């Protein structure tokens, strides 16, 4: 038996055993095939090419087979749609997918598409006394963008050498069963710029490798342009990781809550392809319904925290920098931000005119205005806290301390973070520095609540923010781990950086996942997408009504208008409403 056949055989045995242990006593409904799943006279039959062996670099050492389905209607002069299916040709045959594609393409009920049926990878056994390393669960059940990158960077370019494939995400569908089902969703969730149509049958949205988090993330995250069809049966698996049918219902509920285009077919079947095969033609027709119309984006309407304005997305404000940081707004609405490697502070006035405000400010990072209308900054290259007059004249506030980000209060007291030494420092109006806290793994962003009673510090190397109360002498008290942040699957560190607050007492924290919005109780209600795939370093409210977010992300500065009003920490305190407990 070949290595690749052994991988497939092992999966089939496991799937069969899982079903027999949980479902053997239940008699399923008979799910007959429809005419669209059976070969019809006069319908052109597509050809299947393969198996083709592939050795991956993204999944080192793995070997797998894939097959290519080419309909007779395929025209090399025109870009074809793409349909990727996990678990290879066996999965396609289990769904009776080949006649389904032939029949529906012939009737023009779905577009012409190239099918790519891919087996999971495995690292061959070292010898006849060893087992291969089975990669199916790691590739399929795991969250993050690895498998999406495998498709986008390896398989699609390879198939694209011989076939004309569309690179429009609206022209791409992806499907799978069981772990292959959650894999299909993960690809579209991570890369909606590549895939937007998802078919999942008996999907494994349970706690094997973190997939049980999806219903929560869907409810919290800014909606994406994805259309999803779910299938499952009431006697699907119920194992240590969860109950499949319950998990799929949770996915449906979350997708509906977030306004996605979603459809489903529930039955009484177990962990097999019987029901899926019977509804496959209707599922594919719905998946491609309205094509070539675009898949729509979900909505935030009706959510407890509804921040987004339809049609208002991130807009590029400034580019051509090396690494942007420290956005700050003065009382007239002018915007300032830093380019750390270039030791420069840039200014954009209310009319959009751009200029260099300060040159040669070594390591200049976080910025914030003070009540004295001077721009305070962390000049880490010289280990100084400095401030600038509106004419750009530099004054030293204090020196001798590494510094990253800062906040300045109306009474002239400020706090700054020192990630290198795991410390937070306090300075007063005369520039006297005292230690305020130590021990946070990597203190970074720092902000005060609208009523100026609570100070929050972001920990780049952790998953929480830290909360302190401020006493009558503006000293820190009652340190507590408080805000709970979401992490990327492959990260143990949130990447929490700069922060802003609004009049409702919400805290906006820049992280690897995106801009996470926490309520007063430290719970993430909403996650706004990053403007680009780069480090999201800081954020501030600006605009005439303080309802525009300005975010520094990688080499660019972006803006986005939202349904919230920001607060400037250096102005008078703003009373925030009592939170919902």
SS3 labels along 177-234 = ECHHHHHHHHHHHHCCCCCCEEEEECCCCCCCCCHHHHHHHHHHECCCCCEEEEEEEC
Q: Where are the domains of the chain?
A: 3-25+46-287, 315-561
* 165-175 confidence digits (pLDDT tens): 999 999 999 99
- 314 SS3 class: coil
Average pLDDT (208-218) is: 97
Vertex 199: Cα angle to 195 and 200 (nearest 5): 120
What's the CATH class of domain 315-561? Answer: mainly beta
Helices (H) and strands (E) in the chain, counts: 10, 36
pLDDT value for 304: 87
For the annotated binding site, the residues are: 404, 444, 497
CA distance 137 to 142: 7
Which tokens belong to 336?
A: 């300032």
β partners of residue 265: 231
pLDDT value for 28: 78
Average pLDDT (499-519) is: 98
* Residue 505 scores a pLDDT above 50: yes
Mean pLDDT for all residues in the chain: 95
Q: Catalytic positions, please?
A: 497
For the annotated binding site for substrate, the residues are: 404
Whether residue 58 contacts residue 154, with contact meaning beta carbons closer than 8 Å, is answered with yes
Closest CA to 547 of 510, 495, 489, 503: 503
pLDDT value for 21: 35
Whether residue 46 contacts residue 71, with contact meaning beta carbons closer than 8 Å, is answered with yes
Cis peptide before 292 (omega within 30 of 0): yes
* Residue 286 scores a pLDDT above 70: yes
Q: Confirm or reject CATH 3.40.50.1820 for domain 3-25+46-287, answering yes or no.
A: yes
Per-residue DSSP letters for 500-547?
EEBTT--EEEE-SS-EEEE-TTS-EEEEEPPSSSS-EEEEEEESTTS-
| Number of Cβ within a 10 Å radius of residue 25 | 7
Average pLDDT (253-262) is: 97
CA distance 33 to 36: 8
Instruction: Tell me phi and psi for residue 97, to 5 degrees.
Output: -70, -35
Q: How confident is the model at residue 580 (pLDDT cuts 50, 70, 90)?
A: confident
Q: How confident is the model at residue 78 (pLDDT cuts 50, 70, 90)?
A: very high
pLDDT value for 27: 65
Instruction: Tell me phi and psi for residue 346, to 5 degrees.
Output: -100, 155
For the annotated binding site for a divalent metal cation, the residues are: 444, 497
* 143-192 confidence digits (pLDDT tens): 999 999 999 999 999 999 999 999 999 999 999 999 999 999 999 999 99
pLDDT value for 136: 97
| Number of Cβ within a 10 Å radius of residue 477 | 10
Q: Taking the model in full, what pTM does it have?
A: 0.92
Closest CA to 142 of 73, 58, 43, 66: 58
* Residue 233 scores a pLDDT above 80: yes
Q: Exposed, middle or buried by CB within 10 Å (0-12, 13-18, 19+), for 173? A: buried
Whether residue 138 contacts residue 58, with contact meaning beta carbons closer than 8 Å, is answered with no
């Amino acid at each position: 038996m070949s290595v690749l056949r052994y991988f497939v055989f092992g999966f089939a045995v496991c799937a069969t055993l899982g079903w027999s242990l949980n479902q053997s006593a239940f008699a399923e409904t008979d799910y007959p095939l429809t005419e669209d799943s059976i070969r019809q006279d006069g319908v052109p039959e597509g050809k299947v090419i393969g198996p083709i062996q592939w050795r991956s670099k993204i999944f080192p050492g793995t070997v797998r087979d894939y097959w290519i389905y080419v309909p007779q209607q395929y025209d090399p002069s025109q870009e074809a749609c793409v349909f990727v299916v996990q678990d290879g040709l066996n999965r396609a045959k289990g769904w009776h997918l080949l006649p389904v594609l032939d029949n529906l393409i012939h009737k023009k009920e779905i577009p012409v598409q190239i099918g790519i049926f891919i087996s999971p990878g495995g690292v061959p056994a070292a010898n006849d006394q060893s087992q291969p390393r089975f990669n199916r669960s790691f590739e399929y059940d795991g969250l993050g963008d690895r498998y999406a990158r495998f498709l986008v960077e390896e398989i699609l370019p390879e198939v694209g050498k011989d076939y004309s494939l569309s690179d429009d995400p609206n022209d791409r569908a992806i499907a799978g069963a069981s772990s292959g089902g959650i894999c299909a969703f993960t690809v579209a969730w991570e890369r909606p710029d590549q895939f937007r149509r998802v078919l999942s049958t008996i999907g494994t949205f349970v706690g094997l490798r973190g997939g049980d988090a999806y219903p929560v993330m869907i409810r919290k995250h800014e909606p994406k342009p994805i259309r999803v069809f779910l299938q499952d049966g009431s006697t699907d698996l119920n194992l240590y990781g969860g109950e499949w049918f319950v998990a799929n219902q949770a996915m449906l509920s979350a997708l509906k809550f977030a306004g996605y285009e979603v459809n489903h077919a529930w039955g009484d079947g177990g962990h097999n392809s019987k029901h899926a095969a019977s509804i496959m033609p209707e599922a594919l027709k719905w998946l491609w319904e309205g094509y070539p119309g675009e898949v729509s984006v979900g909505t935030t309407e009706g959510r407890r925290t509804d921040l987004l304005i339809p049609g208002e997305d991130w807009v590029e404000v400034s580019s051509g920098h090396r690494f942007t940081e420290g956005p700050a707004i003065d009382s007239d609405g002018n915007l300032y931000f830093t380019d750390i490697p270039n030791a420069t502070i840039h200014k954009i006035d209310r009319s959009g005119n751009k200029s260099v405000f300060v040159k040669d400010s070594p390591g200049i990072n976080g910025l914030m205005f003070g009540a004295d209308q001077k721009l305070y900054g962390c000049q880490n290259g010289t280990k100084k806290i400095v401030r600038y007059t509106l004419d750009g004249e530099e004054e030293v506030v204090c020196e001798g301390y590494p510094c990253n980000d800062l906040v300045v209060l109306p009474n002239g007291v400020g706090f700054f973070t020192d990630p290198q030494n795991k410390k937070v420092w306090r300075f007063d109006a005369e520039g006297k520095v005292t230690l305020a806290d130590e021990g946070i793994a990597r203190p970074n962003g720092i902000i005060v609540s609208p009523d100026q009673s609570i100070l929050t510090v972001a920990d780049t190397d952790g998953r929480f923010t830290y909360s302190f109360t401020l006493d009558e002498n503006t000293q820190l008290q009652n340190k507590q781990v408080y805000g709970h942040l979401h992490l990327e699957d492959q990260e143990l560190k949130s990447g929490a950086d700069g922060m802003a607050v609004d009049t409702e007492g919400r805290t906006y924290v820049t992280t690897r996942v995106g801009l996470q919005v926490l309520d007063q109780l430290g719970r993430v209600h909403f996650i706004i997408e990053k403007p680009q795939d780069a480090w999201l370093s800081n954020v501030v409210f600006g605009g005439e009504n303080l309802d525009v977010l300005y975010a520094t992300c990688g080499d660019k500065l972006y803006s986005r208008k939202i349904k919230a009003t920001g607060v400037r920490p250096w102005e008078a305190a703003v009373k925030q409403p009592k939170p919902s407990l």
